[in-house]
Amino acid sequence: MKEKCLKLLQFLRTRKWLTGGLILVLIITAVFAGRLNREKVPVDEFPQTVMPTCRVDRGDVKMVVYATGNIEEVLREEINIASDAKVLSVNVEKGQEVKAGDLLFVLDDSQAALNYAREKLAYDKLKRELDEELKNLKTPYIYSPEAGLITQLSVINGSVVQKDTVVARVARTDYFELKGFFNSVDINQFKVGDKVEVFIQDFLNYFPATVVKVDSKGQGTIEGGILYGVTVQITNPGGLSQSNKGYINKGGTRSIGLEPLKMPDDIEIKAGKMGKVRDIHVSQGDHVAKNDLIITLDSEEQQYILKEKQLELQLAELSYQKSLEELEKSQVKASIDGVVTELNVIVGTNPGNNQPAVTISNTSDLKMKVKVLEEDIHYVELGQVADVYVNAYGEQRFSGTVTKIAQRGILEGSSVFFEVEISLEEPGPLKSGMAGDADIVVLYKENVLRLPPGALTIENDGIATVMVKDADGNPEPRTIRIGAEGVEHIEIIEGLNEGDEVLLLGGQMNPGMHQVIKY
């Protein structure tokens, strides 16, 4: 049946039926002409054969590529489980709406939990061992404990250092400190961790700060009183320096006088073990980040031990992560929003491997997937509009746009098809799985001269023949140039004018009729 349809489409494409119609007209004319000569019948007594005609008019020509297919969801998730574990619980029902991340069902995870606990224990043990190595600096490397500015380097290449030898100093540059003074009453309003503000005189602005120290003992003044110090930490937004002065303010209670900003004390960087300086990786004045490498000591044996432990930890982490993934697989969750359209899991049984455990469909966005013949695929481009029809809704038209064109064809019988996806603008009542067809508009011309296909015979690309009336009113053939070939009309480029009457060999077409057979 399919082969017969393809042959019929090919037959219609070549317009052989039009050529046959023209030959039939010529034969009929010759027969009646011979009869006139034999019987000498007067012309006015000869029965006239009335053939339908049409006139060249102006309008639109739409060329389409026809294809059939089915409605599908744009988003669809099929969850397949390759596991021997039994289902412990099912948390959804068929037809239920779910959100991405919702729990669908749970598998028996006892073995996975045991494996996870074992791998986690091994990982934590190795990590503690490595952390201990780093803590005691039993390594040839010396790192910066904080981000900041290298203010001093105390060693050179070849220097021998002992454990706890200060090799460098780093100053924190990301914040400043300010110490303000309060009387014995106001000091009671402050405690470590309080959020306050500091007014910087040079900027005439307040900056947020945090209390880091409160002096409870106080110190005497030359006037005989006692003042209590409060030290706050101010994050440097950029632009602050030690030349700036300010005061602390909390709820209207402010410190006495203006005090200068102060950089925090330098942090000492110490060697964790005895060794000889092999490489210095920074210079005085460099900015470093936390854990940046500062100095390498010549201790190859210790370096090998550290690398070995780091490798062991990496391998343990891989095993730990794998066991965690296996454990998480026991809790199967949705990855998209949608409706549960298939549910093939039952508590106490193993999920089948030959069908999806759960299928989730997002029916808010639908598409039609159609198959286009290989001889037509070169007309189809992304972004072209399409008129979609489904069998369930007859002639009701749904608008769509071509969003995907397959790069590889599919052989079916003796024909090759290419899959094309059409995104539907307003699917309305359409449902996934519905069958139908689509007219992909590959060319659209407005306000051009045109004729219905039944009025002409196509000879070659761009050339056609029509039957027009001569001076005596008799039909005669005329060669014309044509352009776009649409379903209902063909564009006339040259050879006819608007209003010209031509013989309609193929019979009159109803412009409102939806074509059932197209190409």
Look at 88-102, 134-148, 328-342, 380-394 and tell me which has the smallest mean pLDDT. Answer: 134-148
Give the mean pLDDT of 36-63: 68
CATH 2.40.30.170 residue spans of the chain: 66-72+360-383+390-433
Distance from C-alpha of 296 to C-alpha of 426, rounded to nearest angstrom: 67
* Residue in the structure block whose two tokens are 């209003």: 499
Q: Which of 125-129, 141-145, 348-352 has the highest mean pLDDT?
A: 141-145
Burial class (CB in 10 A: 0-12, 13-18, 19+), 119: buried
Give pLDDT tens digits for 184-233.
Answer: 999 999 999 999 999 999 999 999 999 999 998 899 888 888 999 999 99
Is the pLDDT at 86 greater than 50, yes or no? yes
Cα separation values, 9 from 13, 66, 373, 490, 519, Å: 6, 11, 11, 18, 7
Other C-beta atoms closer than 10 Å to the C-beta of 168 total: 24
pLDDT tens digits for 320-347?
888 887 777 778 888 888 889 889 888 8
Least confident segment among 170-174, 184-188, 437-441, 515-519: 515-519
Per-residue confidence (pLDDT) for residue 407, from 0 to 100: 95
How far is Cα 233 from Cα 177, in angstroms, rounded to an integer? 5
Average pLDDT over residues 51-55: 87
Architecture of domain 174-262: Beta Barrel (2.40)
pLDDT at 18: 40
303: burial class by Cβ within 10 Å (0-12, 13-18, 19+)? middle
Q: Residue 43's pLDDT is what?
A: 45
Report the amino acid identity of residue 247: Y
Does residue 26 carry a pLDDT above 70?
A: no
**pLDDT of 60 above 60:** yes
* Alpha carbons 139 and 278: distance in angstroms, whole number: 13
Side-chain-side CA neighbours of residue 13 (13 Å): 13
Rounded mean pLDDT, 88-110: 88
d(CA 393, CA 165): 87
Q: What percent of the chain has pLDDT over 70?
A: 84
Neighbours of 407 (CB within 10 A): 7
pTM: 0.43
Provide CATH 2.40.50.100 ranges for the chain: 141-171+267-297
Q: Give tens-digit pLDDT for 261-275.
A: 998 889 999 987 777
Question: What's the average model confidence in pLDDT over 90-108?
Answer: 89
CA 19 to chain centre: 53
Give Cβ neighbours of residue 331 (< 8 Å, ≥ 6 apart): 103, 106, 107, 109
Give the H/E segment covering residue 21.
Answer: helix 16-39
For residue 295, which amino acid is it? I
- Helix, strand or coil, per DSSP, at residue 142: strand
User: Thinking of the domain 141-171+267-297, which architecture would CATH place it in?
Assistant: Beta Barrel (2.40)
Q: What is the pLDDT of residues 462-501, one digit of tens each?
A: 999 999 988 887 889 999 999 998 888 999 999 999 999 9
pLDDT of residue 303: 63
Beta bridge partners of 288: 148
Whether the per-residue pLDDT at 46 is higher than 70: the answer is: no
> What residues have CB less than 8 Å from 387, skipping those under 6 apart?
64, 397, 398, 399, 400, 438, 439, 441
The answer to whether 103 and 89 have CB atoms below 8 angstroms apart is no
What class is the 66-72+360-383+390-433 domain? mainly beta
* pLDDT recorded at residue 512: 33
Q: Give 460-468's long-range contacts (Cβ < 8 A, gap of 24+).
A: 462/493, 464/490, 465/22, 466/495, 466/496, 466/502, 466/503, 467/22, 467/25, 467/502, 467/503, 467/505, 468/496, 468/500, 468/501, 468/502, 468/503
Q: What is the mean pLDDT of residues 118-124?
A: 89
Place of tokens 């937004």: 237
Average pLDDT, the chain: 83
Give residue 48's pLDDT band: very low, low, confident or very high (50, 70, 90): low
The answer to whether 236 and 175 have CB atoms below 8 angstroms apart is: yes
Q: How confident is the model at residue 510 (pLDDT cuts 50, 70, 90)?
A: very low
